[in-house]
Amino acid sequence: MKLNNILNVFCLAFILLLLSTQLHANSNAIKSITIAAPISAPFVFKDTKGKPQGFLVELFKLVEQKTGMKATVSIMPWARAMHEVKVGHIDALMPTIYTDERAQFLTFSKIPLIEFQTVLLKLAEDELIVDDITQLGTEKVIVKIRGMSMGKVFDDAEKAQQIKVIEVRDFDHAIQMLAQSRVDLVASVDYISNSSLKRLNLQDKIDTLIFSDEKTLAYLAFFKAYENKKGIDELMEQIKNVEGTVQYQALVDKYLK
């Protein structure tokens, strides 16, 4: 009898411990977030009705279906998006490349949201070859989106003034400048450049140059004072969990292939 009582007490204590752990985990879960994002098709863009669309937008819809966590995505220019998150008007920014400067006012998740490769675009008729961007010099003009990081290799070369870079508001403007021979190169990332060249029907007129094997990681970054920091990594785990689903693979096939 005493042994049975001891076992019952032990089982009850174990069940209470499990319930306590589960309740603690649920208390950290993010119930809803607001996210700022620049137009960066195929990741984020506006459909014909002006509503957010794209791989990352639908990814968060999939996460909502699986977990109930609601994400509201607002599309705006990159510089404004970063400012809105920096001052706490919006919870998070995506997709965001880590830099030491940004880490001063943003909290980065431990797990990246996506990864991509930085590329350069040139006119197909131009015989320019770029094996090492640091050797490109400042005679060639590269255009990129204002305020965007292009990965460590590119950013370091820009800071060291080994390359000449000008900035514009959006990628379509950059492509137009290249097509009109007003610049020599456009800095972009592989998925964005592939999507834009297809949409603008410029695959035969513009070539892609890969100047580094470096894979760039991009994150969901929250404003520094975001109160539920424990929930950030739990959210990223939830996102990673959906990557093994058929629905996730369908998104990859739809937007990234």
Is residue 143 scored above 70 in pLDDT?
yes
Would you kindly state where each structural domain of the chain is located, as residue ranges? 1-29, 31-115+218-255, 118-209
CATH of domain 31-115+218-255: 3.40.190.10
3-state class of 116 per DSSP?
A: strand
Contact by Cβ (8 Å): 220, 35: yes
Alpha-carbon gap, residue 32 to 216, rounded angstroms:
27
pLDDT of residue 213: 82
Is residue 3 scored above 60 in pLDDT?
no
31-115+218-255 and 118-209 agree in CATH topology: yes
Residue by residue, DSSP assigns 119-173 as EEEEETT-----S-GGGSEEEEEEEEETT----HHHHHHHHTTSEEEEEES-HHH
CATH of domain 118-209: 3.40.190.10
**Could you tell me the pTM of the whole model?**
0.81
Tell me the average pLDDT across 164-180: 91
**pLDDT per residue as tens digits for the range 196-250:** 899 889 999 999 998 888 888 999 999 998 877 878 888 999 999 999 899 999 9
**pLDDT per residue as tens digits for the range 49-101:** 999 999 999 999 999 998 899 999 999 988 899 999 999 999 999 999 998 99
pLDDT of residue 27: 53
Amino acid at 22: Q
3-state class of 39 per DSSP?
A: coil
